Amino acid sequence: MASVTLMEARGLTRHFGGLKAVDGVDFTLMEGEIHALIGPNGAGKTTFVSLLSGRVPAQSGTILLRGRDITRLPAHARVHAGIAYTFQITQVFAALPVFDNVALAVQSRGGRPIATEAMAALERVGLAERADQIAGTLSYGHQRVLEIAMGLALKPVLLILDEPTQGLSDGEIATFKEIVRAVVPKTTVLLIEHNMDVVMGLAERITVLNFGKVLATGTPEAIRADRAVQAAYLGG
């Protein structure tokens, strides 16, 4: 496991009215790891990563990226700092070719040369041969893979994947797992995922959220054996 801290969150809090979506969360992410974030529906997972990516402002607490305080940075500035966040719902530009989708991501961070970098990102995820295909004609699974390519084109130090295997077939999930394994250690991956086979097969460490708080953090083996986690989420 990597020994260098990439990101730290301390006392991170976000309430919506009476709902304590994220309630004083402490979290550490190590460079080069695949770290999974799991928990029941409504546990605060998406709100938490929205705080990390700057899409939702924190009410209190701090976020450090490689020791730099980014708590008040807007989302676009965090992208330039190296944080890429892919959504639960595919966010590709359906009317544009696959290549153009990735080229726009390269252009957004001022990357040069655009064509070379776009193709490099497509090659990393196995979509180079589909560069000229209109994105909206891709299968759902390939659109999710394209979204990952768009994230990688930003050259992030941290790639946040929010429910990336939702709606994918078993074969597409297998391809996704290969892609994620190939991304690290150059890029750190934070994975929000309900498919426990994917989580246990990919993650080096797992953090479990429940009612906006950290219930447990540990290796897949430790999380699987944790009685509190079993009661709250895994069953048994």
Structural contact between residues 158 and 187, judged by C-beta atoms closer than 8 angstroms: yes
What number is the average pLDDT over the span 150-174? 89
Note the pLDDT of residue 209. Answer: 93
Per-residue pLDDT tens for 205-226?
999 999 999 999 999 999 999 9
Per-residue pLDDT band at 141 (split at 50, 70, 90): confident
The backbone torsions φ and ψ at residue 31, rounded to the nearest 5 degrees and listed phi first, read -65, 135
Per-chain mean pLDDT for the chain: 90
How many domains is the chain partitioned into structurally?
1
SS3 44: coil
Structural contact between residues 36 and 180, judged by C-beta atoms closer than 8 angstroms: no
Per-residue pLDDT tens for 42-70?
888 989 999 999 999 999 999 999 999 99
Strands (E), 39-108: 60-65, 68-69, 83-86
Per-residue pLDDT tens for 18-43?
889 999 999 999 999 999 999 988 88
Residue 234 has pLDDT above 80, yes or no: no
Domain limits for position 9: 5-234
Per-residue pLDDT tens for 82-118?
999 886 555 789 999 999 999 998 988 776 789 999 9
Note the pLDDT of residue 132. Answer: 97
CATH number at residue 194: 3.40.50.300
